[in-house]
Each structure stands twice: as structure tokens, then as C-alpha cells.
Copies of this chain bind each other. A is one copy, B any other.
Amino acid sequence: MALIVQKYGGTSVGSPERIQHVAEKVMAARQRGDDVVVVVSAMSGETDRLVGLAHKLDPRPEPRELDVLLSTGEQVTIALLSIALQKLGCAARSYTGAQVRILTDNAFNKARIRDIDETAVRKDLGAGRVVVVAGFQGVDEDGNITTLGRGGSDTTAVALAAALKADECQIYTDVDGVYTTDPRVVPQARRLARITFEEMLEMASLGSKVLQIRSVEFAGKYNVPLRVLSSFQEGEGTLISFEESQMEQPVISGIAFNRDEAKITVVGVPDQPGVAYGILGPIANANIEVDMIVQNVAADATTDFTFTVHRRDYSQALDILRDVAIGMGARELSGDNKIVKISIVGVGMRSHAGIASKMFQTLSKEGINIRMISTSEIKVSVVVDEKYLELGVRALHDAFELERAPK
């Protein structure tokens, strides 16, 4: 008998019929003998409806009151799912974030969980009940309702699983797992049976938007095995857990890519201390997030400084740097917003040499020019022209034999 935390997102509970379907899935887990805690989001569309009502009164509603408003979305779902479960003859009890006492700080709209009191939940589980918890919400020390920000239901599920020392935290979504790459680009892409937290973090931050990064970090921190599954089809999904050294790891697990990048180069700045800060300081002050950063030292005591930003921030970043570049004595400011980033990710890189050069060779064979390179312990990222995205990803998927399941 295991203790399982299951999380169902807005699409999975988007109508009474779908809630009924979720109740049947929960019931099936109970009948396998597992204790089940279910975390649910608001029904799809509900949060937008509520925000719409608030915006009719104030385009920038007061954050405390917005949380009072938005938290009703999940509260509706916990009640409906509990009603559906009981109708099936499955004892169940709903909890709002405040009722569990999911204690958060008081940063309304983006609160962080500080502590979870699992007493009441444990008591209900002990009495044979399914416990249904509202995701995305908590309560601060003064009893104010808080929300964790969009997508926060995943975090609630993982935090509850950690507090309850659950055997597994299952995230039900509209995809059936994590793939070696986007199947829309590579039809042979394969569902991964398992992946490590680190790989998942690299995949997630690179655009595989299956899970909220924050919940993966959380799961890793508290060592909660996380499983991504589809709420609409049967299957084992993908288990995200810590690397197990006894296992034969594949060299690389997946290929992530990001179409939203743009790059900016400050050419020929004097190679002296303070250059990086001089360039990136004004960018950070404008709240523009920087992704890759590359600096090469040239022979003539000047350097080229290149970084990438989200495409929507591209022209603002260029505007900011025009004066900065002149002030620094740079030769030129150049940019390109028709680029993409492709990354190979895998913990196997740690113990295998030559992975990066195999990547470069593969791209070179296809005539794809590499514009930037950046590496970390478990990934290699390259920036290439936008038009090469599909060709590059397919060639790499093939070269690393990702369509074949590891032995």
C-alpha cells in the first residue's frame, strides 16, 4: 500500500464530465489499495473569467483581494470532485489551502509555501478517506488567503507529497509524459520512462513546458519522485527522480529547443574589468532576462560580448545598449532575432567524453553554422539560424539514437 499524491490540472477538471472521469481514476487507485491525496486546479477558463470580472472594476486589482477572488476557482473544484467521489461510494473530504493550513509568506499573487500542517490530512487518510486539496493557494500567518501564482497547483502537490513523505507525486496533464524532443518536430520522438530532476530542469527551462520549473526544483529538493501522466489516456508516463548510479544511463536523454531567442553582440569593447557588468547592468535594471552569455577574448585587447534575450525584449535591449556601447568605446552593436537555441541534455555526459564534438560534427554535416555555444555539466546548447531548427533537431535525434529505448 502506497501513499500517492495526484494532481489534476484545469483541463482535466474542465467540466462535470471530466471531473467524473477524474473521480473514476482516483477510485481506481483506491481500489488498488493506495492512500490518495488529490490536488486540483480551477476548472479551465475559470481563473480567466474571475480575472476578467476583477479587471472590469480595476485593471490593477489590489493583490490581497485578487487572491480572495482567484482562490474560489480551486474551491469549486475540490467540492465538485468530492461530491463525485462520494457519489461513487468513495469516502472523500475537501480542503481549501487555509483548511489544510498550507502556510505561505504574504506575497499575494506569488506566495511561497513555508510550512504544511499535515495532521488533518493524515487523520482523514487514516479514516479511509480520499483527501481533495485545493491547489495554488494557502494562507499567511494573519489568516489572509494567498495564491502561489499561475501553475502553482503543481507546487502544492509536490509540497504536500514532501510533507506527507508520499511514495509518488503524480502530475496528470494533457500529455502522456516527457519526450526525447517535441514530437511535432521529430515524429520518432520517444516517451522517456524516466528522467532525472536535473535533466528535467534543463528540459523545462529550455521549453518543454510539461511541468512548472518550481515544482521540479521543489521535488528534487525534498526527493519526491514525480511522475507525469496523461489524464486522458492510460500509460506509465515519465518518472522524474534522482539519478540511480546502478542504472545504465543513456548518454543523452533529450533534445530541447527554444524558438523565442534573440541575440545581441557588443563588438570590440576594450577587454577590461567591468565590461560584463557595464553591459548587463542596464539590461537587468530594465527587468529583461538574459539567457546565454558568451565572451571571447580577441588578439587586439578588445573583446566581443554576446548574450541572448527573449525576442519580445529584443528591440528594448538594443535601444538600451546603443548609448552604453558608445560610452564603453565599443566598435559596433549588432543583433539578430532570427535565431534559435538547440540543446542536448543528459546526465550521461558527465561520464562520456566527446558528446559536444559529436553534436558539432552532426550539425556541420548538415551544413548548419553554429553561432554561439554554451555548456553546462549536463547540457550543450548551440545557437543557430532559425531556419535550421527542424533540420538540426532531427539530425541530432538521429545521431544520438534517441528513438531507441535504452537497454
A residues with a Cβ closer than 8 A to B are: 16-17, 19-20, 50, 53-54, 56-58, 61-62, 64-66, 68-69, 71-72, 75-76, 78-80, 82-84, 86-87, 93-94, 96, 98-99, 143, 145
> What would 27 A/B residue contacts be, using CB atoms closer than 8 Å?
A16-B53, A16-B57, A17-B56, A19-B57, A20-B57, A53-B80, A54-B79, A54-B83, A57-B84, A57-B87, A58-B83, A58-B87, A61-B83, A62-B86, A64-B94, A65-B86, A66-B79, A66-B83, A68-B75, A68-B79, A69-B75, A69-B79, A69-B83, A72-B75, A75-B75, A99-B143, A99-B145
Interface majority SS on A: helix, strand, loop or mixed?
helix
Q: Which residues on the B side are within 8 Å of A20 (C-beta)?
A: 57
Q: Report the minimum CB–CB distance from A389 to chain B (whole Å).
A: 44
Residues of B within 8 A of A65 (CB): 79-80, 82-83, 86, 94
A83 with B62, Cβ < 8 A, contacts A16-B56, A68-B75 known = yes
The residue of chain B having its C-beta at the shortest distance from the C-beta of A75 within the complex is B72
Q: Which of B16, B57, B71 contacts A80 (CB 8 A)?
A: B57
**Shortest distance between the CB of A142 and any CB in chain B (Å):** 9
Which residues of chain B are near A57, meaning CB under 8 Å?
A: 16, 19-20, 80, 83-84, 87
Query: Which of A20, A62, A96, A98 lies at the interface centre, i.e. has the most chain B CB atoms within 10 A of its CB?
Result: A62
Q: Which residues does chain B contribute within 8 Å of A72, judged by CB atoms?
A: 72, 75-76, 79
B58 & A69 in contact (Cβ 8 Å cutoff)? no
State whether A64 touches B76 (Cβ < 8 A): no
Task: Determine whether the beta carbon of B68 is less than 8 Å from that of A54.
Answer: no
Are A58 and B84 in contact, CB atoms less than 8 angstroms apart? yes
Considering the chains assembled together, what is the distance between the CA atoms of A51 and B277 in angstroms?
58
Residues of B within 8 A of A50 (CB): 76
**Cβ contacts under 8 Å, A84 to chain B:** 57-58
Closest to A61 in B: B83
Q: How far is the CA of A87 from the CA of B55 in the complex (A)?
A: 11
Which residues of B lie under 8 Å from residue A66 when comparing CB positions? Answer: 79, 83
Add 9 more A-B contacts to A65-B83, A66-B79, A72-B72 (CB < 8 A): A16-B53, A57-B84, A58-B84, A66-B83, A68-B75, A69-B75, A72-B76, A98-B98, A99-B143
Can you name the residue of chain B whose Cβ is closest to the Cβ of A54?
A: B83
In the bound complex, CA of A56 to CA of B80 (Å): 9
A84 to B62, CA, bound (A): 9
Q: Which residues of B contact A56 (CB under 8 A)?
A: 16-17
Find the B residue at minimum CB distance from A98.
Answer: B98
Which chain B residues lie closer than 8 Å to A17 at the CB level?
A: 56
User: Is A53's CB under 8 angstroms from B68's CB?
Assistant: no
In the A-B complex, list the 4 residue pairs whose CB atoms are closest, starting with the nearest: A69-B79, A16-B56, A72-B72, A68-B79
Expressed in whole angstroms, the Cα–Cα distance for A325 and B167 within the complex equals: 68
Chain B residue numbers with a CB within 8 Å of A53 are 16, 76, 80
